[in-house]
Chains A and B, each alone.
Chain A
Amino acid sequence: AQRVTQPEKLLSVFKGAPVELKCNYSYSGSPELFWYVQYSRQRLQLLLRHISRESIKGFTADLNKGETSFHLKKPFAQEEDSAMYYCALLSGGYQKVTFGTGTKLQVIP
Chain B
Amino acid sequence: DAGITQSPRHKVTETGTPVTLRCHQTENHRYMYWYRQDPGHGLRLIHYSYGVKDTDKGEVSDGYSVSRSKTEDFLLTLESATSSQTSVYFCAISDRHTTGNEQFFGPGTRLTVL
Contact = CB atoms under 8 A, between A and B. Distances in A.
Task: Classify the interface of chain B: helix, strand, loop or mixed.
Answer: strand
A89 to B, nearest CB: 11
A86 B43 contact: yes
A49 B100 contact: yes
Interface in B93-114: 94, 96, 100-108
B7 to A, nearest CB: 15
B70 to A, nearest CB: 19
Task: Classify the interface of chain A: helix, strand, loop or mixed.
Answer: strand
A5 to B, nearest CB: 10
Nearest to A98: B45
Nearest to A4: B42
Contact of B102 (A46, A98, A102): A46
A57 interface: no
A45 B40 contact: no
